[in-house]
Protein backbone atom coordinates (compact mmCIF):
# COMPACT_ATOMS: atom_id res chain seq x y z
CA UNK A 1 0.00 0.00 0.00
CA UNK A 2 2.78 2.44 0.93
CA UNK A 3 4.66 1.72 -2.28
CA UNK A 4 1.52 2.38 -4.30
CA UNK A 5 0.94 5.73 -2.56
CA UNK A 6 4.61 6.72 -3.06
CA UNK A 7 4.22 5.88 -6.75
CA UNK A 8 1.06 8.01 -6.97
CA UNK A 9 2.83 10.95 -5.32
CA UNK A 10 5.63 10.64 -7.89
CA UNK A 11 3.02 10.66 -10.71
CA UNK A 12 0.59 13.48 -9.89
CA UNK A 13 -1.24 13.21 -13.24
CA UNK A 14 -2.33 9.64 -12.47
CA UNK A 15 -3.36 10.68 -8.96
CA UNK A 16 -5.44 13.52 -10.40
CA UNK A 17 -7.14 11.16 -12.87
CA UNK A 18 -7.97 8.66 -10.10
CA UNK A 19 -9.41 11.44 -7.91
CA UNK A 20 -11.43 12.80 -10.82
CA UNK A 21 -12.85 9.34 -11.60
CA UNK A 22 -13.69 8.85 -7.92
CA UNK A 23 -15.48 12.21 -7.73
CA UNK A 24 -17.38 11.45 -10.93
CA UNK A 25 -18.49 8.08 -9.55
CA UNK A 26 -19.57 9.76 -6.30
CA UNK A 27 -21.59 12.34 -8.22
CA UNK A 28 -23.31 9.66 -10.33
CA UNK A 29 -24.23 7.55 -7.27
CA UNK A 30 -25.45 10.69 -5.44
CA UNK A 31 -27.68 11.73 -8.36
CA UNK A 32 -29.11 8.20 -8.72
CA UNK A 33 -29.89 8.02 -4.99
CA UNK A 34 -31.50 11.47 -4.95
CA UNK A 35 -33.71 10.96 -8.00
CA UNK A 36 -34.68 7.32 -7.48
CA UNK A 37 -35.06 7.28 -3.70
CA UNK A 38 -34.81 10.52 -1.76
CA UNK A 39 -32.60 13.49 -1.06
CA UNK A 40 -32.08 12.26 2.49
CA UNK A 41 -30.60 8.97 1.26
CA UNK A 42 -28.26 10.84 -1.09
CA UNK A 43 -27.09 13.12 1.71
CA UNK A 44 -26.61 10.12 4.01
CA UNK A 45 -24.44 8.53 1.31
CA UNK A 46 -22.31 11.69 1.06
CA UNK A 47 -21.85 11.82 4.85
CA UNK A 48 -20.83 8.14 4.94
CA UNK A 49 -18.38 8.64 2.10
CA UNK A 50 -16.85 11.71 3.77
CA UNK A 51 -16.42 9.72 6.98
CA UNK A 52 -14.80 6.85 5.08
CA UNK A 53 -12.32 9.17 3.38
CA UNK A 54 -11.60 11.10 6.57
CA UNK A 55 -11.04 8.14 8.87
CA UNK A 56 -9.78 5.39 6.53
CA UNK A 57 -7.67 7.14 3.89
CA UNK A 58 -6.26 10.14 5.77
CA UNK A 59 -4.07 8.11 8.18
CA UNK A 60 -2.42 6.38 5.19
CA UNK A 61 -1.87 9.63 3.32
CA UNK A 62 -0.50 11.54 6.31
CA UNK A 63 1.81 8.63 7.17
CA UNK A 64 3.24 8.62 3.66
CA UNK A 65 3.61 12.40 3.40
CA UNK A 66 5.45 12.61 6.73
CA UNK A 67 9.20 12.73 5.99
Total domain count, the chain: 1
Residues 8 and 29: their CA atoms lie apart, in Å, by: 25
Q: Which structural domain range is residue 21 located in?
A: 2-65
pLDDT at 2: 66
Q: How far apart are CA 58 and CA 33, in angstroms?
A: 26
C-beta neighbour count of 45 within 10 angstroms = 17
pLDDT values of the chain reduced to their tens digit, one per residue, 67 residues: 567 667 666 766 666 777 778 778 877 877 777 777 777 777 777 787 777 777 776 766 666 666 5
| Cα–Cα distance measured from residue 60 to residue 38, given in angstroms and rounded to the nearest whole number | 33
Amino acid sequence: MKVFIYWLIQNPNILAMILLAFLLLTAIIFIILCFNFSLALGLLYLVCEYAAIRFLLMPFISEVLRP
